[in-house]
Amino acid sequence: MTDQHQFPPAAHGQVPLDPPAPASTPPSAAGGPPAAAPDARAALLAVRAEVAKAVVGQDAAVAGLLVALLARGHILLEGVPGVAKTLLVRSIAAALDVETKRVQFTPDLMPGDLTGSLVYDAANSDFTFRQGPVFTNLLLADEINRTPPKTQSALLEAMEERQVSVDGRAHPLPQPFMVAATQNPVEYEGTYPLPEAQLDRFLLKVTLPLPPREDEVAVLRRHASGFDPRDLHAAGLRPVASAADLAAGAAAVRTVEISDEVTAYIVDIARATRHSPSLALGVSPRGATALMATARAWAWINGRGFVTPDDVKALAHATLAHRLSLRPEAELEGVSVTAVLESALGAVPVPR
């Protein structure tokens, strides 16, 4: 349905985490970035360097995970086998000092295996709820497209409502809570494509590309010197941020200002996709809201208290591309979602 894209998209170049501040500052943002959590920002930026002890390259995917955590969303990581998708999520969890659990999605995985189930307690002669692996801070849903839709849908309530309902009773999930799901784009036998409704629940979709030659050489050198990806502690990874830093950062992100002009710019981008003759499904209002959220998180990470059009463009592909669906005739003509979205971005005037 969608083609691969990097975060930030390669078409716009790799946006650094600390770009120079814009020459002009909106009067409403003259005070600069929110002062509520400067220590939290520094701690979260340190996560990049810590993750690099275990994962070579993939800075864009690290940035995407941080944006998703700050915006209280979920992320879908796509890449061929062996590009460190699982290792990346485990490294992020280790650097953040939050609990993580991994679930290998298989065709026989049942919803109760994920959410938990009622178990008879002989001592009390009653049924008690036994929590499933979804009760964690960072859930790694490995190869999510290998399990049937019934089990995939069990995640929807957890992702959207931050709770699990069993036997009519709601069980709230820990905070923070994020699903980092992975999927393999090259194997289709025995897979179940994610429905549009579930794809729309993912705030971001990030593609992990194959590494350049120099990064691949560095990976082999690490393994030759004794690096064990199953032992992150031995690799030197230490917690450099905490759940409290994430909470402070998320609160600060919500104070990032976004002008009426930039808000209208986001809406116009979404509406432009709905009018594209190549698309059967354009960006919904939920998608536009998601782009505003990721742009605010990106602005805060980069030390600004206001959103610029460049923030919106930098996050547009990772936030919107997986929400678009091509018409069959457009697919036959070789049209790509990336090209359609790039055309929509180019057609909308950029506010000054």
Average pLDDT (144-150) is 84
Instruction: Render pLDDT for 84-142 as a digit per residue (tens, 0 to 9).
Output: 888 999 899 899 988 889 999 988 899 889 988 888 777 777 888 889 999 999 999 99
Q: Per DSSP, which regions of the chain are E strands?
A: 75-78, 100-104, 116-121, 126-131, 138-142, 163-166, 169-172, 178-183, 204-207, 279-281, 325-326
Instruction: Name the pTM for this structure.
Output: 0.84
The vertex-10 CA angle with 350 and 192, nearest 5°, equals 105
Q: What is the pLDDT of residue 10?
A: 39
Comparing 342 with 25, the larger pLDDT belongs to 342
Q: What is the pLDDT of residue 13?
A: 33
- Alpha helix segments (H runs only) across 35-84: 38-51, 59-70
Task: Give yes or no for residue 66 having a pLDDT over 60.
Answer: yes
Instruction: Render pLDDT for 157-180 as a digit per residue (tens, 0 to 9).
Output: 888 889 888 887 888 999 999 999
Instruction: Render pLDDT for 310-339 as a digit per residue (tens, 0 to 9).
Output: 999 999 999 999 999 888 888 888 888 899
Q: What is the pLDDT of residue 82?
A: 84
pLDDT bucket at 204, cuts 50 / 70 / 90: very high
Helices (H) and strands (E) counted in the chain, each on its own, are 13, 11
Q: What is the pLDDT of residue 1?
A: 44
CA pair distance 352, 348, nearest whole angstrom: 12
CA pair distance 237, 224, nearest whole angstrom: 19
Q: How far is CA 104 from the centre of its chain?
A: 19
CA atoms in the 13 A half-sphere facing the CB of 222:
18
Average pLDDT (196-222) is 89
Neighbour tally for 351: CB within 10 Å: 15
Task: Give yes or no for residue 200 having a pLDDT over 60.
Answer: yes
Whether cis (ω within 30° of 0) applies to the bond prior to 8 is yes
Instruction: Render pLDDT for 237-296 as a digit per residue (tens, 0 to 9).
Output: 899 998 899 999 999 999 999 999 999 999 999 999 999 899 888 899 999 999 999 999
Instruction: Render pLDDT for 6-46 as a digit per residue (tens, 0 to 9).
Output: 445 433 333 344 443 443 344 344 444 444 456 888 999 89
Q: What is the pLDDT of residue 187?
A: 62
Task: Give yes or no for residue 230 having a pLDDT over 70.
Answer: yes
